[in-house]
Amino acid sequence: MDLETLLSFKWGLMAPEFTIVITATLLSLIDLFMDNKKSRNILGWIGIAGIVIALVFLIGQIGQEPADILFGTYIFDPFAVVFKFIFLVGTAFVFLLAMNYNPEDKIRHRGEFFYLFMTALLGAMFMASSADLITLFIGLELLSISSYILAGMRKDNLQSNEAAMKYIINGAISTAFILFGFSYIYGITGTTNIFEIGMRTANLASSDLLNLAALAFIISFVGLSFKIAVVPYQMWAPDVYQGSPTPVTAFLSVVSKTAGFVIIIRLFLTAFHSAPGLNVDDYNLLWSIKPLLGVIAVLTMIVGNTIALRQKNIKRLFAYSSIAHAGYLLVPFLSLSPLWLEGIWFYLVAYLLMNLGMFAILQVVTVKMGSDDISSFSGLYKRAPIAAVMMAIFLLSLAGIPGTAGFIGKLNIFIGALGPITAMGPFPGHIVLVSIMMATTVISYFYYFGVMKQMFMVAPVDENEPVRIKLPSGVMVVVALCVIGTILFGIAPNLALDFFYSVMGM
């Protein structure tokens, strides 16, 4: 590539990514020359400043025409913009949590703690704009490798070491499946460009090639199933969530999971949506594979919610809760109704607010009490009434109670799945799927309300002299913003959806 060609690219499209790269580099250099005894929280503030600047660039890009650079491997379009907002806002909140995270076993290399979040964020953002299998994989691995290291940042903690080991082993298995699936896709179509793959799979006529395309889809989806932690590939999630530092757990549950769903949307619904079905009556290839996806979604909802009932460790409980929510998010992929994309996006926004807010309070309580057991929340209303009420709001939203963003998110999925698929009405399988989703949602009430029972109805363990809990200012900002968003989008969801429609040009 000559210099003239290099300079001809519209590099301004990557302004948010360049901002994150520069900020990550700056953080690593400052950390290198700082005195070891000085607080690294200044790095957190610099990181937040970099994220805010990236958000400003991203807002400035709204309304621009879709374009691509680097020979079609990087694409700028409304889809990338709306999901980058989730990545940036979610990571900014995680930075505020990280600056106020002080466990008994101190994190030695705290500077790395901050700039590894930036590199993970960069990988997620690159995935949202990737239009090629190669760049998509690079973004995925940048996110994954950063996450492996972050999970093991508490070097003197055996659970953290175990979490990092299990995460990297499962991540390696996931990577092997993804690459194997990608090799089949390339072998069938002869290209790595996602949009060209979509055009070439649409013209597949041979039944043998269609079967290979279905196999490529299944193998790649299995690899990505590890990333979003759906059954039966969820084994790593409870241990990793429990052993990782709480800000890392929050990041994995929101930003990393969102990135997993972004890659599924970007790749499969572009590359395989127009491919012919395996049977004459099937609309497309995705319709042919729908029974497999339906089984995975059902098992994920059932396993996530039922095993959560038995958990005593609060982080493991919310790990299984996260697995269950991944099952809910698979339902729109089965219905592919006219509301499917906004339904997924709104649910991920709601999930960001309620999950990060919940983890912010969880972080303070567990560090203060020195335990991750659910009993550490006993009598929280007497220790910190405001924090208890805010935690209750997040739990109600996670449970899908009306008046919260979580309820609207689930309602959108219900409506989308039950919408008319054919002239005869909803597909019968969708009714079964939604019924199971409703039943498992009711099951989730038991463990969400179990935490609320601990907070409001159980006396503190140290009842005579209960430990007072105060939320640090940074954590309070995260919790307050998440509460406002959870209630506001629960009462007026059109505020979020109007933003989505305006960016998407719908």
Which pLDDT belongs to residue 396?
A: 94
131-140 mean pLDDT:
90
Residue 7: the pLDDT is 66
pLDDT of residue 392: 93
pLDDT at 433: 86
Q: Helix-strand-coil percent breakdown of the chain, rounded to 5? A: 75, 5, 25
Q: Got the DSSP string for 260-282?
A: HHHHHHHHHHHHSTTSPPSSTT-
How far is Cα 29 from Cα 47, in angstroms, rounded to an integer?
13
Handedness of CA 285, 289, 294, 299 (dihedral sign): negative
CB 390 within 8 A of CB 446: no
Residue for token digits 């997040």? Answer: 394
pTM for this structure?
0.91
- Using an 8 Å Cβ cutoff, are 1 and 71 in contact? no
d(CA 175, CA 227): 10
pLDDT given at position 292: 86
Residue 373 DSSP code: B
| Mean of all residue pLDDT scores within the chain | 86
pLDDT recorded at residue 415: 84
Give the Cα-Cα-Cα angle 351, 352, 357 (nearest 5 degrees): 105
**Per-residue pLDDT, 428:** 62
Of 85-89, 233-237, 418-422, give the lowest mean pLDDT range.
418-422
Nearest to 15 by CA among 76, 72, 82, 73: 76
Q: How far, in Å, CA of 300 to CA of 438, rounded?
A: 14
Per-residue tokens: 194: 């996602």
Residues 327-348, mean pLDDT to the nearest whole number:
85
Residue 232 DSSP one-character state: T
- Encoding tokens for residue 488? 């506001």
As beta bridge partners, residue 132 has 193
Q: What are phi and psi of 74, to 5 degrees?
A: -120, 125
pLDDT, tens digit (0-9, with 9 covering 90-100), for 361-376: 999 888 888 888 888 8
Q: What is the CB neighbour count within 10 angstroms for residue 375?
A: 14
Calculate mean pLDDT across residues 113-137.
Answer: 90
The region of weakest confidence among 25-39, 201-215, 448-462 is 201-215
Report the alpha-carbon distance of residue 123 to residue 142 in Å, rounded: 5
Residue 301 has pLDDT above 70, yes or no: yes
Candidate from 189-193, 227-231, 264-268, 434-438 with smallest mean pLDDT: 264-268
Residues whose CB is less than 8 angstroms from the CB of residue 423 and which lie 6 or more positions away in sequence, other chains included: none
If you average pLDDT over residues 125-145, what whole number do you get?
90
203 versus 400: the higher-pLDDT residue is 400
What pLDDT, on a 0 to 100 scale, did the predictor assign at position 492?
92
pLDDT number for residue 447: 92
Query: Do residues 503 and 78 lie in contact, with contact meaning Cβ atoms separated by under 8 Å?
Result: yes
Share of the chain above pLDDT 90, in %: 38
pLDDT for 425 beyond 50 = no
Helix (H, G, I), strand (E, B) or coil at 436: helix
Residue 231 has pLDDT above 50, yes or no: yes
* pLDDT of res. 422: 44
Residue 465 pLDDT grade (very low, low, confident, very high; cuts 50, 70, 90): low
Of the listed ranges 71-85, 228-242, 329-343, 429-443, the one predicted with least confidence: 329-343
Question: Do 62 and 503 meet the contact criterion of CB atoms below 8 Å apart?
Answer: yes
pLDDT of residue 423: 38
d(CA 10, CA 67): 9
Q: What is the pLDDT of residues 374-399, one digit of tens each?
A: 888 888 888 888 989 999 999 999 99
- Indicate the range of 103-112, 283-292, 342-351, 453-462 predicted with least confidence: 103-112
Q: What CA–CA distance (Å, rounded) separates 205 from 253?
A: 41
